[in-house]
A and B are shown apart, each in its own frame.
Chain A
């Protein structure tokens, strides 16, 4: 069964490399933000799969917290580009 997890992990890393093209070269800042959001959500699943490969359940806690942080980061970047400021005084 560990071969399956290794294969899935490699597929996820391959898709992350594909999205990296948009993150570096994508025309305009919005393409780059979308690519960074996509890479973040892929990394969540990659952490779960790594936890199953090494048989360490601790990785799932890390992926939960990473999901929350990634969501907040995306929202903040979108909001900053929309209004030019993060929170109104």
Chain B
């Protein structure tokens, strides 16, 4: 493996770590609102890190531009989707979990 490949591997390994943390948060956190905290942040950064690793491996070509566009799209779209689901839940009256209650 050359230097560029090692840098790309480091980026992608970081992304994989964050994606595993996001999935663990989706399983471990006690209620709907806190679960969205885990998926909204960890998953966004993990996916963008994996795409950046692919960009570094690819080098300078037209595919890199497409991947850059894809990562920008994920950065804008993922928080918006999270916000939309959360607003729907709040408007329909789902009560947030307080400290000390049982998990649901």
Contact = CB atoms under 8 A, between A and B. Distances in A.
A78 B91 CA distance: 11
Interface string B66-93: 1101100110011011101101110110
| Chain A binding surface SS class | helix
Contacts, number: 122
A4 B9 contact: yes
| Chain B binding surface SS class | helix
A38 B85 contact: no
Interface in B5-64: 5, 8-9, 12, 15-16, 19-20, 22-24, 26-27, 32, 35-36, 39, 43, 47, 50-51, 54, 57-58, 63
Contacts of B91: 82
